[in-house]
A and B are shown apart, each in its own frame.
Chain A
Amino acid sequence: MTKNNSGSRSGIALPLVLVFSICVMVFTASLVFFRKESKQQNLTNVHFLQANFLAQSAVQMMLLKLSAFPQEACDAGVLSLGYCPFRGIIAGSELAPVAGANRQGLIDFYSDCNSDRFPWKVPGITAANWKFATTDFKVISAYTNPGERQLIISSQITALGEANLPRGEMGVRKEEMIKTVKLTREN
């Protein structure tokens, strides 16, 4: 005969099971929730990076163009300040600006640095979801260094990256990048 001592120890198992079950349930729920959050986070990051690098593309395109056409960039910058683009700002000169600054040279300079002028060649990347553009190019300062016979122009490139991420219904994200560039031209 089995002694039944069920009177004192028969109630602990259930709680233990319940507790265990609850714990498992909680853990499981936590796992599900964490995974969901992580996925959302990843989409957000990708969306940002996509827009950010699209903006970076516009900046790089501008830098490339600056490298190729530094003289034109200088000319356009000088013109935007109201000086004659054909008249260099000679160190030590007292050159009076002409009436009416005109930024058209700068606008013309950056106006083709965008994804609309360069159709995507990569399969799966569409112009509808991947866009970038230089939205502004302006001179923020210019001065001459008499000792070095240098004209120093500080300019700012403003670029916009625009990414549309349907997955996760992320939608359109726009990232603006502002790049400051110093052009030094020896006179």
Chain B
Amino acid sequence: MSAKSCYALILAFVLTLPGVFACSLPAEPCAAIVPINAEANGMKLVTEGNKFFYLVPQGTSASFKVVWDPAAHNTGGGLQGDKYDWCTKARIPFEAGTDKPNGYGYFPIQSMADFFAVSGNRGSVQEAFSRQMGVSLGNGFLPSLTGPYALLSGFVKPGNQGRITTLGGQSTEYPAPGWADVAAMSDTPVTGAIDDNFPSSSWNTFVIPLSTVRPNPPTTTVFPLSATKAVRIRAEGLLMEDIDMEISRIRPEDYKAFVRTGNPGAEIEVESNPQIVWSADGSNGTPGPNFNVTFNTPSFNGDKEQSKIRLKVWSPGAGFEISNIYWAWKETVYNKKSGRVVTQEEQRDASGTIIVPERSEMRDYWEASPATYMCSEELQLTLVKSAAEAGSTDFIVYDDKSPIAADFKITSANRNFLPTGPTPFDFTLKVLDTNPYFNKIFNTTISGVTLKQSIENLDLQVYYSYPHYQYSAAAGLDMNRLKTEGYGLVDLEDLSSNEPKFKGFKHEAKWAWKKADVSNLAIGSSQPLTGGTGRKAGAVTTITGKLNINQPRPWHECNEGGGKSVPEPKFKVFAISADSAGMKIAEHDAVKTSIGTHLLSDTAKPESGADPAACHDGAPIPAGDTQGQISSGQVDDSGWSNVEFLKAKDETGPEIQVVVFDTRTNRYHMFGTKQNVAAGFSEFGGEGLVEDYSTGDMPYLGKESNISGAHQFTDLSDINGLFDKYLVGPNAVSTIADDSQTGFVCQQNNRLVFYIRAVDNINGYLAAKQFGISALSCNLVEKNGAVVIADPPSPANMLKPIEHVFRFENVDNDGAVSPEYYLEVNATDHSNNSRNFKLNIAVLGKKLDIRTLEERRKRID
């Protein structure tokens, strides 16, 4: 070849190669991973313009396959209809079970492999390449003007990737390996970084002197190899000698599926077998072609694009492998030398004596080798379709599964019931769910499928156990039974009978689940949880809110303080909740329906049911249907939820009743109050709280001062009336029956017998607990001060009679009472709540007269 024709060819290559080589490869490896029988497996194909994605309910599993996608779906640009047509014209059958998004289907990956195995008509790839490109590839040299990258990248089509490998051989025309060799490369991507690996004129940056002349020696720029050797590179470029082109041998298993990273959807766990890895470029993808993929974790966070899980296929170096190309250059070697240079000539005086000695110095200089070397390094350029190119099969997975479990906490520092209710409590519910975006609120519709996450969807219900009381009347009670058996409030059975027979009642606690009012719900941030793949597979999300318990503090049960009721009750509270997408555990609606606003149930009993929330059927509410998919140390996922416990503290003093037996009239008078401290709601078994404890007029709740006042029987304003009432009768007096607070009126020198009874609302039926009384004292005061009562009644021996005769009247003719006579009783329950009872007594001076009538005597011998 003449020099002139060579230059013409070089010029032709320089002008045409970048454009020619930038054209599409004759057949690009374009693969995708798609689901088989997507619709049958619950996936909905949604097309939007030239793009498409699948809308997938959580938990969907399907077989996936790496297929040939000549139309290059989802690249963002137009579909490759011409390439698709190659396949259809070649009558290549579609991959069975795959969809045809936008009308373009997929073909088996093996077909693509077979397609790439096809060479030119004569079995020559180069011929096929040239035919496709329309150019003839001959020998030639492409000078490098701006560096190796600029030259080599001309072979690489945008969207494809070029890789360079050094093979080590030398060309015929440039036989020397050179001092400045090409750095070894193996499938190194063709990027700007490769310039550093090639010896090029840009390396010539070190200025060396070429002589010992100073200060301005002649210089040149070189590339230093060592302290004493350097080279000068020039005329570098790409030399093609009998270029050899081969098409990559494609095996279906070389195509590697991967989840493309770069968007939030890529942070979501996708389980598959074999496991598809996450990658930016897919070079470390998972070999296929068959996969079983399960979308266990929702990816939709309200933003459609961000929520897409993009499955792509990394294509191996499918394309052309171009060899017999060389990087060639010329290099001149410079060696460092040094020579002595006289800097000052010797000077002598007239006598020949040296007056200025000669001075010299050694100076460095670089000397070029006489020969110029023609150097080269054989390269192999591989052109592959880049996996970084857009074009993926996208999936949006939406929440379709219930939460797994929850951890319920009452966060209020004070867990005590308020006496009259309602009692507000702050709470948190940590929900373990497979939705990493539990906290996202959105409402959108995609292709007819409504995707909504909201606070309302939670349908959060809080239930608590609470006692109802069923009362049963008791009658015919005598003093002994009152002493040994537990009863609530008692009163005389018959005021006219003068018999110490009493009526009373007992109660039985019936436990119910009750629904609490829930307000101020808020969904906090979700703490993502990772699954087996290290990707987001769920989250723990804290829901906060306030619950209101409408009922007042339970009356006969308490579990706080020193006077706990026996057995110690558990006031259980638990919550059920859907997730923000409205997905509920299996028993959610069953629990909600069965309880309604309240449900009498044995499962609400304090001793019934374990700590895990149990409700209508007695068994703990099971965890959600994705139990085990993820776990967190914050939530026990063995069942739905734990239960929390409330506290109730007795803050009400006991009830005191005093029976006064007037031996003059033989009547038993009853002093007590209708405030019903020990009774709860019922009065002698006539009423029961079957439905709701909070209804009706409860005389005891929040009225401690009223109760204390009601125990003061000090009204002696109508002495005459009271005299008639107590002494004339005919009936006995009960301040319970007539709801009065009158004192007692009797006569001087009249023996009275007092029976004192105290009973608390807590443990009021338990003789072992002394009917809830821990201390009992009494004080009887008359004219001479306190009466000494030997062996007074005690909590263990209540109703022990106290006899006393008031010898001195304290009522004058005007009805004024002075001094004050009274019986005062103080009782304290085991929670240290006290009650003071006071009965004022007016003693009238109705005297007993003694007269002597006659006297007789006689002597007795």
Contacts and interface: CB of A to CB of B under 8 A. Distances in A.
A71 B749 CA distance: 6
Contacts of A85: 663
Nearest to B854: A180
Given A154-B853, A175-B857, A187 B727 contact: yes
Interface string A159-176: 010000000000001111
Contact of A179 (B665, B855, B859, B860): B855
B857 A52 contact: yes
A76 to B, nearest CB: 12
A177 B854 contact: no
A180 B858 contact: no
Interface stretch (B148-156, B391-399, B422-430, B843-851): B843-851
A66 B846 contact: no
Interface string B706-737: 00000000000000000000010000000000
A182 B848 contact: no
Contact of A71 (B661, B805, B852, B856): B805
Contacts of A75: 663, 751
Contacts of A66: 850
A82 interface: no
Given A70-B749, A88-B665, A176 B857 contact: yes
A116 interface: no
B860 A180 contact: no
A175 B847 contact: no
A177 B852 contact: no
B814 to A, nearest CB: 20
A59 B751 CA distance: 26
A7 B312 CA distance: 209
A134 B849 CA distance: 21
Contacts of B854: 179-180
Sorting the interface of chain A by its residue count into under 10, 10 to 19, 20 to 34 or 35 or more gives: 35 or more
B859 A185 contact: no
Contacts of B853: 154, 180-182
Interface centre among B663, B855, B856, B857 (most CB of A within 10 A): B857
B848 A55 contact: no
Interface in B822-861: 846-861
A178 interface: yes
B251 interface: no
A142 interface: no
B61 interface: no
A87 B665 CA distance: 7
A174 B861 CA distance: 6
B860 A176 contact: yes
A181 B727 CA distance: 26
Interface string B647-664: 000000000000001011
Contacts of A52: 857
Nearest to B498: A87
A74 interface: yes
A66 B851 CA distance: 10
A86 B848 contact: no
A181 B852 CA distance: 4
A106 to B, nearest CB: 15
A186 interface: yes
Contacts of B805: 71
Given A63-B852, A88-B666, A186 B847 contact: yes
B666 A67 contact: no
Contact of A183 (B665, B666, B849): B849
B860 A63 contact: no
Interface string A7-34: 0000000000000000000000000000
A148 to B, nearest CB: 11
A90 interface: yes
A184 B749 CA distance: 13
A86 B727 contact: no
Interface in A42-89: 48, 51-52, 55, 59, 63, 66-67, 70-71, 74-75, 84-88
Given A71-B805, A87-B666, A88-B663, A181 B851 contact: yes
B802 to A, nearest CB: 15
A173 B855 CA distance: 19
A74 to B, nearest CB: 7
A90 B730 CA distance: 11
Interface centre among A48, A160, A186 (most CB of B within 10 A): A186
Contact of A184 (B665, B848, B855): B848
A133 B854 CA distance: 19
Contact of B856 (A84, A177, A182): A177
Contact of B850 (A63, A173, A187): A63
Given A173-B859, A174-B861, A175-B860, A71 B851 contact: no
Nearest to A162: B860
Contacts of B402: none
Nearest to B753: A86
Contact of B848 (A74, A179, A181): A74
Contacts of A180: 852-855
B530 interface: no
Contacts of A59: 855
A186 B747 contact: yes
B750 interface: yes
A181 B856 CA distance: 12
B663 A86 contact: yes
Given A70-B850, A181-B850, A187 B664 contact: yes
Contacts of B859: 48, 51, 173-176
Contact of A182 (B747, B750, B851, B857): B851
Contacts of A84: 666
B665 A160 contact: no
B860 to A, nearest CB: 4
Contacts of A71: 749-751, 805, 848
B848 A177 contact: no
B849 to A, nearest CB: 4
A19 to B, nearest CB: 46
B850 A88 contact: no
Nearest to A159: B857
Nearest to B751: A71
Interface in A72-121: 74-75, 84-88, 90
Nearest to B664: A88
B343 to A, nearest CB: 151
Interface in B657-696: 661, 663-666
A66 B849 CA distance: 10
A45 to B, nearest CB: 13
B749 to A, nearest CB: 5
B751 to A, nearest CB: 6
A179 B859 CA distance: 15
A175 B751 CA distance: 37
Contact of A176 (B727, B846, B852, B858): B858
A153 to B, nearest CB: 10
A174 B850 contact: no
Contacts of A87: 663, 666
Given A175-B860, A181-B853, 19 more contacts: A59-B855, A63-B850, A71-B848, A75-B751, A88-B665, A174-B859, A176-B859, A176-B860, A179-B852, A180-B853, A180-B855, A181-B850, A181-B851, A181-B852, A182-B852, A183-B848, A184-B848, A184-B850, A186-B848
13 contacts: A51-B859, A55-B857, A66-B850, A174-B859, A175-B859, A176-B858, A176-B859, A177-B855, A182-B850, A182-B852, A183-B850, A184-B849, A187-B664
